[in-house]
Amino acid sequence: MSRRLYEALYLIDATEHTARLKTPLAQIDARAKLVVLLTFLLTMLSLPAERLSNLMLFAIYPITMAAAAGIGYGQVLRRSLIIIPFVALIALPNIFYQREPMLEVYGVVITRGWITLLAITLRGILAVQGVVVVIASTGLYGTCRAMQRLGVPHILASQIYLTLRYIRLMVEQALHLQQAVESRLFSRKTLPLTLWARLTGRLLLLSIGRGEAVGRAMASRGFVGQMPQLPYRHTKRWRRRDSTYLVVWCSTLLLLRVLHFAEMIF
Amino acid sequence: MHMSDALISPSVAAGAGVVAVSLIAVAIEVCTRKASTLNPTRREYLFPLMGVLGAFVFAAQMINFTIPGTGSSGHIVGGILLAAILGPWAAFLTLSSVLIIQALIFADGGILALGCNIVNMAAMSCLVAYPIFFRTLVCPNASAARISAASIIASVIALVLGAAALSAETALSGVAALPMRQFLVYMVVIHLVIGVGEGIATAAVLAIVRHYRPDILFENNLSDTKPTVAHRAARVISLFAIAALIIGASFSWVASSKPDGLEWSIEKVAESPTLANPDTNYHRIAAQMQEQTALMPDYDTSLAGILGSGAIILGVFVIAYIFRYQPRR
């Protein structure tokens, strides 16, 4: 029952840990990584679903990025598989609505519906993999700072930053409460509604109490409702390698989108 | 109900993104103005409280409860609950930041689909269901039964509107072939049931908070928004909504035409979507070389492409594995 809470704690810690490693990808400016990630998503998702072979080539991005970030591709793949049930469920009716034959393999006719089902699932998996690899090499705080430097409004960036700060505390608090309840449940899988309401209500009251305490503590240190910009010495300078990374990957992704390499070669 | 990147087209993502960004801009303006009207002590609390309550919603969404009579379990979205404490615009901003963090940590919903998710979940619950239904039904001294009824109605409406928006976005994207009417019916029916569960859960938590801390509920601790700001907000929203419609419509038009830019240009110039190879010696030799060097010349082009792409990916994977970064031990 507490699996998701443990998983959240693990993911937050693991993300910050991998972002702190001195890997080639971690040393690239977070803004460059975010822009390339957006280009990857836009170019990949704008491909028509029938072009499965072209879509497959976009896997080059997460595979290469995972290698450069020192993360096992197996881990990235495992995390991306969670998307399959939701995406496949919505794309499954394609099999029944798109019955035109697309190709034949040893006498077995494969219809357009099967191709688009595979393509949509692959789009979902690749999109998640791109996000997972970039966030793991940048960290949540690094991403937040990059968003701020890319022009995301100050209040929203502060809000994300503050929420991130207190997620760990709140998840730990929820875990303690849930463990206390679980020890009295005698292996029941989920909480009855009344008990859940008491637990969540208690968590909410604790959160509000903590929010007020945090507000007082921040006010005593001069907080006036806005997060200060990071001092210049704490921000990474844009270097030549960041420009190279940006130009090389954006052009590669655009070429993958425009030219049909798979059909040209084979 | 998180929308995935795989199910939307870039044009729909752009349209929803414009709406979400404009709503966030309005929320920021409203919150800033609201903070300036509060007394200094409460002003200092507002933003840290929003952060901590965002973290609370994040944690609370991971604790499931048994839905009575169904044997299944569910969790809260938290929009109505947050709006009852922070007010609609501050709750919208808080829930949007939670959705952004969920997309980053858990890959719940995609980065491109963030605009859709903010509109479907945060805007529908905090900016539509809460002010129109919850606030109308609940007065400051409302009974527990009235609060429960308002919670259930507002939650059902928020989830059904969100589900309808998700169906429309999926249909407009044209990625899945499921007819919109059928998809809409399934989504609305499922979310009606989930909405009742969410409403009961929200009512139960509100009852507990009302018992222990009645001072923090229904924006008692926050002053009301000035009507001028609301009017300006409505104007900005309408402007951006129209812009989103125009952008969405124009992008969809481009997306729906079958040939891509290059093919279209060739078709205009050569009156055929493909160019014929010139019959020169160089071209004949190149074609012959391609035929000899191509790995699967006799295969169906699509299958060859798929197998070829698979081979390239395998090659990239092997190279990436060999040259992967390995931390020094």
Instruction: Tell me the ipTM for this assembly.
Output: 0.83
User: Which candidate from B59, B97, B107 shows the least CB-CB separation from A79?
Assistant: B107
Inter-CA distances, B167 with B117, B174, B191, Å: 12, 11, 12
> Minimum mean pLDDT among B17-21, B181-185, B212-216: which range?
B212-216
pTM over 0.95: no
A26 touches B: beta carbon within 8 Å:
no
Q: Do B63 and A153 touch (CB under 8 A)?
A: no
Which is more confidently placed, A249 or B77?
A249
Domains and CATH numbers, chain B: 5-325 (1.10.1760.20)
Question: Pairing state of beta strands B65-66 and A108-111?
Answer: unpaired
* pLDDT at residue B220, as a whole number: 54
Which candidate from A115, A174, A216 shows the least CB-CB separation from B59? A174
On average, the pLDDT of chain B sits at 74
What type of residue sits at position B204? A
Least CB-CB distance to A200: which of B54, B63, B320?
B63
Q: How far apart are CA A220 and CA A223, in angstroms?
A: 7
**Based on the number of CB atoms within 10 Å of its own CB, is A21 exposed (0-12), middle (13-18) or buried (19 or more)?**
middle
Q: Do A210 and B51 touch (CB under 8 A)?
A: no
Chain A residue nearest residue B56, CA to CA: A170
Most confident of A49-63, A142-156, B218-232: A49-63
CB contact under 8 A, B110 and A67: no
Lowest mean pLDDT among A244-253, B130-139, B271-280: B271-280
In this prediction, residue B180 carries a pLDDT of 78
> Average pLDDT, whole number, for chain A?
83
Asked whether the beta carbons of residue A215 and residue B208 sit closer than 8 angstroms, the reply is no
Question: For A184-226, what is each residue's pLDDT tens digit?
Answer: 777 666 677 778 888 888 888 888 887 778 777 877 877 665 6
| Per-residue model confidence (pLDDT) at position A59 | 92
Q: Which of A238-247, B199-208, B255-264 has the lowest mean pLDDT?
A: B255-264
Spans of all domains in chain A: 14-152+231-265, 153-229
Query: Which pLDDT belongs to residue A62?
Result: 93
CA distance B273 to B263: 5
Give bridge partners of residue B66 from the DSSP assignment.
B73
What is the C-alpha to C-alpha distance for residues B110 and B104, in angstroms, rounded to an integer? 8
Dist CA A251 CA A248 (whole Å) = 5
What is the C-alpha radius of gyration for chain B, rounded to an integer number of angstroms? 26
Residue of A nearest to B22 (CA): A153
Please answer yes or no on whether A73 and B321 come within 8 Å at the CB atom: yes
Whether chain B has a CB inside 8 Å of the CB on A253: the answer is no
> Vertex B39, ends B33 and B42: CA angle to 5°?
90
And the tokens for A160? 């994300």
Task: Report pLDDT digits (tens) over A9-55.
Answer: 888 888 888 888 888 888 899 899 999 999 999 999 888 877 888 88
